[in-house]
Amino acid sequence: MIQALRTAFDNLAGRHGLGVALFVGAAVFLWVLVLIVLPQLSMLDFSFRHNLPPPEIGGPNDVYTLDNYRYFLIGPDAGLNSLDIGVLLRTILAALFVTLIDIALCYPIAFILAHSARGVAVRLMVIGLIVPFWVNEILRAFAFRVLFGTTGLINGVGMGLGLWEAPIDFIRADVALYAGLTYAYILLMVFPIYNAVEALDRNQIEAARDMGASWWRVHWRVVLPVAKPGIASGATMVFMLTAGALAAPQILGGPSNLWFTQLIYQWFNEAGDWPRGAAYATILLVVCLSFVLMTMRLFRVSIGAIGR
């Protein structure tokens, strides 16, 4: 890692000068230290503390404890905390489901952008992808709630075409939630795959087709190996952001679907128990990072390949 950073610094200094390299290096260091490392360390420290009133903080009762993590596993009744553990598992599975949908949608879009569309078509496709994201994320979530509501456009068209007779509650069925989350992070999947696929020489695709390879085999043997780092990069961002989403689950989620981030929000803001909220946030972070690293190992994709 240190050697890679040193090589990147030397390359930057060679291209743009030592001053620019020092400025960029200092800016990145401060960004990582102040906005990532220190807040995470503070949250980790909070997670091992008791929830004490302000006058007792720093006193003899302010000691480290594992009670907050024990509560997640055991709960208040000295039994398995199946509710919170189940919410975490459902959140991870839902984030994985949204990530897979984004991959299925964005891979063909990225391939068309990189190797099929030309000129005006490419610009129109890029504009069509980017412009909707000028709207605030919360407004987009409410728009999806209106769209999938019982009196919304989806139900209106469906009943108008005779596909169903009574309005379908897409909110309660969490269809609106999954659709909103899939759309919210679609750009984070399209462009990493596009950057990876764009580097593929089209002559390789033509050669494979000339040799009689079917279309799916061309993608499986030629395109996907090149696109794999881009898919891994996009999947990592989409999965982490989906698992950590709060606004969309609160606006679009059904009454029976509780997101783990909502539990964290409740501990921090409604219960006022910051140590327990910090412990739950740490658990979510560790589980998500472990899942991502396991997936990268399974697909044999390194962090360096994702960075490229």
Average pLDDT by stretches of 10, the chain with 308 residues: 65 76 86 90 92 84 90 84 92 94 92 80 82 85 90 90 88 90 92 88 80 82 86 91 92 83 92 92 93 81 65
| Whether residues 7 and 63 fall in one domain | no
| Whether residues 148 and 22 fall in one domain | no
| Whether residues 95 and 196 fall in one domain | yes
| Whether residues 236 and 152 fall in one domain | yes
| Whether residues 32 and 160 fall in one domain | no
| Whether residues 96 and 244 fall in one domain | yes
| Whether residues 23 and 135 fall in one domain | no
| Whether residues 97 and 134 fall in one domain | yes
- 263-290 pLDDT, tens digit per residue, is 999 999 988 899 999 999 999 999 999 9
Q: With contact defined as beta carbons under 8 Å apart, do 285 and 92 qualify?
A: no
Q: How many separate domains does the chain show?
A: 2
**Which pLDDT belongs to residue 305?**
61
Q: Containing domain of residue 25, as a range?
A: 1-41
| Whether residues 19 and 65 fall in one domain | no
Q: With contact defined as beta carbons under 8 Å apart, do 81 and 168 qualify?
A: no
CATH number for position 162? 1.10.3720.10
| Whether residues 140 and 239 fall in one domain | yes
